């Protein structure tokens, strides 16, 4: 059986950012179920097309609304999506929300997605370190997002095999303002009665996170 989980962070004046995130979630609910049946026939060669089409349609919907209503002008959204099929996880991503993967028994999380910012590129190239990236004045300036002035979208897509006990974390960039990657594994596995996602959010806020802080933790069973 297939399942999908996603996080989205909206941007824009007034309530445009909120609308952008809501539209992104609605598009997933509308478009992805139509493709679930393809996985039963073997999705290995077609998942890229499916996810790229989903991102493209969401992007075009945001552009249309942004150009039609003054209150929606400039609306943008990030989107990080996990699509679970039997034995395999497919993911799509654009923006600076993130997907982390923690194998069962593993001690270190792996960031599956790459932030679509120039500062993140500098970090990946080794030109700055993580602490410098966190304090960089342009750290929140996106190079790619859904909607806005972007004519085309080119989402990152990929796939990983999973096993029971593996954990996935989907989060907005606000969570990482307060936490480093080395903090995540312990918090994701902490025996918190309210759940690890709440613990992650509360810890990030306590450590100074200011932006939208959203976390979703998925355990493979």
List the domain range (segments joined by +) for residue 128: 3-219
Number of domains in the chain: 1
Summarize pLDDT for 113-171 with one digit per residue, the tens.
999 999 999 999 999 988 898 888 888 888 999 997 777 789 999 999 999 999 999 99
Total-model pTM: 0.90
Report, in angstroms and rounded to the nearest whole number, the Rg of the chain calculated over CA atoms. 17
Percent helix, strand and coil across the chain, each rounded to 5? Answer: 40, 25, 40
DSSP string, 68-124: H-GGGTT-EE-EEEEEEETTEEEEEEESS-EEEEE-TT-SS-EE-S---BHHHHHHH
What's residue 200's pLDDT?
95
pLDDT category of residue 199 using cuts at 50, 70 and 90: very high
The enclosing domain of 175 has a CATH number of: 3.60.40.10
For the beta sheet containing 146-147, the strands, ordered from the edge strand earlier in sequence to the opposite edge, are 10-11, 76-77, 146-147
Distances from the Cα of 118 to the Cα of 66, 70, 138, angstroms? 25, 29, 8
Summarize pLDDT for 11-38 with one digit per residue, the tens.
876 578 888 898 889 888 887 776 655 5
């Amino acid at each position: 059986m297939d399942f999908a989980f996603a996080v989205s962070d909206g941007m824009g004046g007034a309530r445009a950012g909120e609308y952008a995130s809501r539209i992104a979630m609605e598009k997933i609910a509308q478009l992805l179920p139509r493709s679930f049946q393809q996985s039963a026939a073997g999705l290995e060669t077609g998942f890229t097309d499916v996810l790229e089409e989903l991102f493209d349609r969401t992007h075009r919907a945001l552009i249309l609304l942004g150009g039609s209503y003054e209150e929606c002008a400039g609306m943008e959204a990030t989107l990080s999506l996990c699509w679970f099929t039997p034995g395999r996880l497919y993911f799509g991503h654009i923006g600076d929300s993130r997907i982390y993967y923690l194998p069962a028994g593993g001690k270190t999380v792996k960031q599956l997605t790459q932030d679509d910012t120039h500062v993140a590129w500098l970090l990946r190239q080794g030109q700055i370190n993580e602490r410098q990236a966190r304090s960089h004045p342009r750290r929140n300036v996106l190079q790619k997002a859904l909607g806005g002035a972007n004519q085309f979208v080119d989402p990152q897509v990929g796939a990983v095999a999973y096993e029971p006990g593996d954990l996935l974390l989907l989060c907005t960039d606000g969570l990482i303002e307060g936490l480093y990657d080395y903090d995540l594994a312990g918090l994701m596995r902490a025996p918190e009665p309210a759940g690890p996602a709440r613990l992650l959010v509360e810890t990030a806020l306590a450590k100074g996170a200011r932006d939208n802080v959203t976390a979703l933790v998925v355990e493979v069973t």
